[in-house]
Copies of this chain bind each other. A is one copy, B any other.
Amino acid sequence: MARNTQVNADHNAPPITQTLARFVATHPSRGWSDAVDHEAHRTFLNWLGCAVGAAHHEAAEAALAAVQVLEPAPQATLAGRTERVDIASAALINGISSHTFDFDDTHLKTIIHPAGPVASALMALAEKTGASGRQVIDALVLGIDVACRVGNCIYPDHYDRGWHITGTTGMLGSAAACSRLLGLDTEKTAMALGIAASQPVGLREQFGTMTKPFHPGGAARAGLMAALMAQQGFTASPRAIEAPRGFAQVVSPKCDWNEINGELGERFEISFNTYKPFACGIVIHPSIDACAQLRERGVKAEDIERLELRVHSLVLELTGKKEPVDGLQAKFSVYHGCAAGLIFGRAGEPEYADDIVNRPDMVALRRKIVATVDDRIDEAAVEVTAVLTNGTSIALRVDHAIGSLERPMTDAMLARKFHDQADPVLGAAQVEALIQACWGLGQAGSVQALVELARLRS
């Protein structure tokens, strides 16, 4: 028997689905500043480097093996691999790869990783439709705007409830981006958003398993299929996002509609996207940064008598693992991050290999680190004092780690990060050409050349 009970429903929500659809369908190409357009290129490049880097991880291998049961048509490229699969499956697999190392982008206000769902769907679809690079960049900016604005509307309550917000807003970003790329009108774009709204993908309980990176992949696929279905006349509620029993109100007790409507077409959320320099949780980044700075000042591991950290309590709560025994545990160890910063000056995926984690000099240095909690220090900051064997000491403070909005990674750093991840897969020469293709994407008449460079030649 149908029931009509719903607590605290907001029956007067503005027409969010329609507003977003019109924005996505009609906003002018490159209708934003050069800075926004450049950030879109940085976002795409960072995403692709991550996808190539994890292309042969066992998560991608297992997902691809399942997809192969479907005998997919060879329509679209898998970054860093030889196989081609249908576009929906390519969106899935590339989305999984791009998030596997948790090394992709972060929209800090919502902790959404926006490129995974959006770019993974776009690259697959663009390869099939023969889209221009400009169309891809346009769709990327608009799709990420949709996902992050919906995220702003429901964060933090939605995330606190247990949803993995990357995959539970990402299907809307993917649907928006793919609708734009397909040239759908406002009405059909609204239908695509509506079909996607019924398919949030992601629970925080999955963190630490392969299903975590599945979330952006699943969202990419769901949004892509939603756009294809809308194109063919499939219908959904035109108020699917905002209605009392629509997406936002169902998945979050907090719905701030102004976060979606405010400054739409003027403020672009991709402007606030950030990229991780280090392959671990963002809470460790200031400490790694500080230790890498010590190294730049000439401090060596063997000079260290004791390394003192003062950090916010959250840092030790989340990453207080003192004696990690493998790479997975090391990701949750601020001690390991500091040791890597001081010994290697970096903490990429290679510095989380099991043999590095267990190297005697790393173990020894980790044991010299003493962390103290001080909640007067911001979560994004750290104070480090290196007490040296010669009796002197060096102190420094990091207020914003490299990679933050205040101290963004430079383009050169992003290219270096790309090489670090992708060279072992594709070789340095192909990777360099691929990086250049990413920087030039907005000017490219087609995505074909870039896609060819992203593929592993057999």
Contact present for A156 and B3 (CB under 8 Å): yes
Name which of A63, A128, A247, A380 has the most chain B CB atoms within 10 A of its CB. A63
Contact present for B209 and A235 (CB under 8 Å): yes
Identify which of B58, B73, B249 contacts A70 (C-beta below 8 A): B73
Identify which of B66, B111, B210 contacts A1 (C-beta below 8 A): B111
Interface mask (A315-326 → B, CB under 8 Å = 1, otherwise 0): 001100000000
Residues of chain B with a CB closer than 8 A to A283's CB: 1-2
Contact present for B210 and A66 (CB under 8 Å): no
Q: Please give me the residue from chain B that is nearest to A238 by CB atom.
A: B209
Within 8 A of B (CB), among A277-321: 281-283, 314, 317-318
CB contact under 8 A between A202 and B210, given known A6-B160, A6-B161: no
Q: How many chain A residues touch B (Cβ–Cβ < 8 Å)?
A: 80
Is A69 interfacial (CB-CB < 8 Å)?
yes
Q: Please give me the residue from chain B that is nearest to A231 by CB atom.
A: B66
Residues of chain B with a CB closer than 8 A to A205's CB: 197, 237, 239-240, 243-247, 250
Q: Please give me the residue from chain B that is nearest to A9 by CB atom.
A: B162
Is A59 interfacial (CB-CB < 8 Å)?
yes
Identify which of B201, B236, B318 contacts A211 (C-beta below 8 A): B236
Q: In whole Å, how far is A102's beta carbon from the nearest beta carbon of chain B?
A: 11
Residues of A within 8 A of B (CB): 1-7, 58-59, 61-63, 65-66, 69-73, 75, 86-88, 108, 111, 128, 156, 159-164, 167, 194-195, 197-206, 208-211, 214-215, 218, 225, 228-229, 231-237, 239-240, 243-247, 249-250, 281-283, 314, 317-318, 379-380
Name which of A2, A59, A61, A194 has the most chain B CB atoms within 10 A of its CB. A2
Report how far A265 CA is from B167 CA in the complex, Å.
35
Report how far A51 CA is from B70 CA in the complex, Å.
22
Copies of this chain in the oligomer: 2
A-B contact pairs, 14 of them (CB 8 A): A1-B282, A2-B318, A66-B231, A69-B128, A161-B250, A162-B245, A162-B250, A163-B250, A164-B198, A198-B214, A198-B218, A203-B245, A206-B240, A210-B234
Residues of chain B with a CB closer than 8 A to A199's CB: 199, 201, 218
Q: In whole Å, how far is A105's beta carbon from the nearest beta carbon of chain B?
A: 15
CB contact under 8 A between A233 and B58, given known A1-B379, A243-B205: yes
Contact present for B197 and A62 (CB under 8 Å): no
In addition to A6-B161, A63-B234, 5 A-B residue pairs with Cβ atoms within 8 Å of each other are: A3-B160, A6-B162, A205-B244, A208-B237, A211-B236
Contact present for B201 and A198 (CB under 8 Å): yes
CB contact under 8 A between A159 and B3, given known A203-B246, A234-B66, A234-B214: yes
Identify which of B7, B202, B232, B249 contacts A65 (C-beta below 8 A): B232
Report how far A61 CA is from B7 CA in the complex, Å.
37
CB contact under 8 A between A71 and B86, given known A198-B201, A203-B240, A235-B209: yes
Contact present for A72 and B75 (CB under 8 Å): no
Residues of chain B with a CB closer than 8 A to A249's CB: 162
Residues of chain B with a CB closer than 8 A to A244's CB: 162, 205
Q: Please give me the residue from chain B that is nearest to A281 by CB atom.
A: B2
Q: Please give me the residue from chain B that is nearest to A96 by CB atom.
A: B234
Report how far A108 CA is from B86 CA in the complex, Å.
40
Contact present for B161 and A66 (CB under 8 Å): no
Contact present for A236 and B71 (CB under 8 Å): no
